[in-house]
Structure 1
Amino acid sequence: MRAGSITGAAHLLGLTQPGASKLIAQGEELCGFPLFSRVQNRLVPTERAVRLFEEAERLFVGMEEINRLVGRLRSDGPPRTVVAAIPMIAQEILPFAAADWLAGVDAQLFVTTRDAGGVLAMVTSRNADVGFAMSFRRTPGVRSQLIARSRVMCAISTEHPLAAKAIINPTDLQGERFISISRHEGQQQKIDQVLAAASVKPKEVAEMPLIIGAAAMARAGIGITFADCFSARPWLGQGLVLRPFEPEIRFEYHAIWIDGAPQGRNVQTLIAAMRATMRAQLQSFGSGA
């Protein structure tokens, strides 16, 4: 699965190609179902094999993590704080907060990215000390804190006629090519409700749950989307503009954690650093906190 071929697998394992083939045959016999099918002289993993690989990878990663932990304990290294975050937060906000945070704590930072559901799962399973996501829904046993609200704006290519407007209203979007954002996380629903109330139907040409990716699509002229100063920042001044949208809509950013976690103090100082970073960026952008 990692090497993409029997030859590559044999090389990774230090075996001959027949030896690697024999291992696969033994694995299929133990599983009781085929792991690969042959298509044009290549082995293609079955759906069951893909699912098995994903679970096995978690186990191997877990064992590797235990080995690293033992190494840190042996060398008396600093404790590690594990952060799960949606990609936009990990890319656009966390690096600035982490720079200040790491300067004041004796800790090592490990960051993993997930969608909002994955962030929550990482925290509730105690595989992450703290998570950062949008529009958190109250969950038993999970603590949360609102760390920022940002105004939702229309993200538009500089070449689009609507870029000349100071404020965008729902009626401006009637029939316009439109890139929807995450319905799974509830961001697009907020926008859909406003558009439906105004009886406006833009022409949806793409769906990009990753807001920072939707902003990139808008920059490329594919259509109009909705973003805030965080998710649009990489493209501002590079062919993308943000225009205020009325009626006003807000995105919310939350920190989530489990009480009693070993990294409790470090978690709280990191949350404070994230909150301060986001508020400073909002004030710099001029949209307010």
Structure 2
Amino acid sequence: MRQRRFLPSLSQLIAFEAVMRHGSVTAAADELHLTQSTVSRLVASLERQLGKPLFTRDRKRLTPTPEAVTYAASVTQGLDVIQRASMGLIANPGGGVLSLSVLPTFATRWLAPRIGQFLSDNPGISINLSTKIQRFSFASEAFDAVIFFGQPDWPDAHHLRLFDERLTACASPQMLAHHPVAHPSDMAGLPLLQLETRPSGWSAWFAAQGGTPPAVSGMVMDQFSMMIQAAIAGLGVALLPSYLAQPEIDEGRLQPILRAGVPGEGAYWLAWPDRRQGDPAFARFRTWIADQVTAG
């Protein structure tokens, strides 16, 4: 049984969260279409219910306590979960809503062209996609699953291996016309574009080609989409997952260098928290994406 003392009303929590976000009772009242006195009264009643001060008051100025800052983070997360659940119920009363965190370029180049078929085959399910590079905790973020690159080490999660990464080095036709590459040693002097999350990528590629990597001196980027455009513009050689490189190669905007599709040092994974293990909507998505990987 839940104890009422530890379950403040939504009105109290919404008022508190708005004050914390705006740093002002006046701004919070404007957003919520309430009077300032009503917002102040809701915050004060929340403090009485919790038995803890959340703000120090100096005349009309409110300064949140350190405890209030920590509490606000959890309240915001809880309100987000309730809002998403309500939106999902309204939009899909007979299905479910899945919130997925996906790597940016993977989302646009691999998942987006395929996801329409899943939605068509499962009309009661909707999917919210958010792109993230940095890792997060399922305990603190309202995501149902994540697609990430690396090793099966996402904390407190189940894992499904999607596919291993294979690497293809590419450059613009114009760059290769001026600087042909027939051997790994011919790469010396070319700017080698780098990705923040693949610091050893070039070393793995040169090892697979039977060569020794030169000093890497190209630009460092945080997304493959930026690297692709930089390579097309002739700013350097891109080292790309083969599934990302192939469309640009087919269109003639990039040309592969030496042996394509060499093994990388990681894989793409689907990970999900235990709370989604038996969820029917997620089970359908998990089966679907596994089938997509098998089909190629």
Q: What TM-score bracket applies, with the shorter chain setting the length? A: 0.5 to 0.7
CA distance in 1, matches of 2:171, 2:185: 16
Aligned to 1:101: 118
What are the within-5 Å matches in structure 2 for residues 251-262 of structure 1? 252-261=267-276
What are the within-5 Å matches in structure 2 for residues 9-88 of structure 1? 26-28=61-63, 30=64, 59-60=75-76, 62-70=78-86, 72-73=88-89, 76-88=93-105
Q: Highest Rg: 1 or 2? A: 2
CA distance in 1, matches of 2:169, 2:217: 15
What are the within-5 Å matches in structure 2 for residues 117-128 of structure 1? 117-118=135-136, 121-122=137-138, 125=140, 127-128=142-143
Q: C-alpha displacement at 1:235, in angstroms?
A: 4.1
Q: C-alpha displacement at 1:138, in angstroms?
A: 2.6
Structure 2: gaps (5+ residues): 1-20, 35-57
Paired amino acid for 1:273: W
The number of residue pairs the alignment matches comes to 245
Aligned to 2:262: 248
Residue 218 (structure 1) aligned with residue 218 (structure 2): no
Q: C-alpha displacement at 1:155, in angstroms?
A: 1.9
CA contact (8 A) 2:168 2:261 kept: no
Q: C-alpha displacement at 1:180, in angstroms?
A: 0.7
Identical aligned pairs, as a percentage?
15
Q: C-alpha displacement at 1:10, in angstroms?
A: 11
CA distance in 1, matches of 2:247, 2:262: 23
Q: Secondary structure at the match of 1:100?
A: helix
Residue 181 (structure 1) aligned with residue 198 (structure 2): no
Residue 147 (structure 1) aligned with residue 162 (structure 2): yes
What TM-score, normalized to structure 2? Answer: 0.64
Structure 1: gaps (5+ residues): 16-22, 33-51, 283-289
Residue 170 of structure 1, aligned match among 172, 184, 209? 184
What TM-score, normalized to structure 1? Answer: 0.65
Paired amino acid for 1:188: P
Paired amino acid for 2:200: Q
Change (3 A) 1:72 1:264: closer
Change (3 A) 1:214 1:173: same
Paired amino acid for 2:131: T
Q: C-alpha displacement at 1:182, in angstroms?
A: 2.9
CA distance in 2, matches of 1:223, 1:90: 24
Change (3 A) 1:273 1:168: farther
Residue 191 of structure 1, aligned match among 175, 195, 202? 202
Q: Secondary structure at the match of 1:144?
A: strand
Aligned to 2:55: none
Change (3 A) 1:104 1:163: farther
CA contact (8 A) 2:166 2:261 kept: no
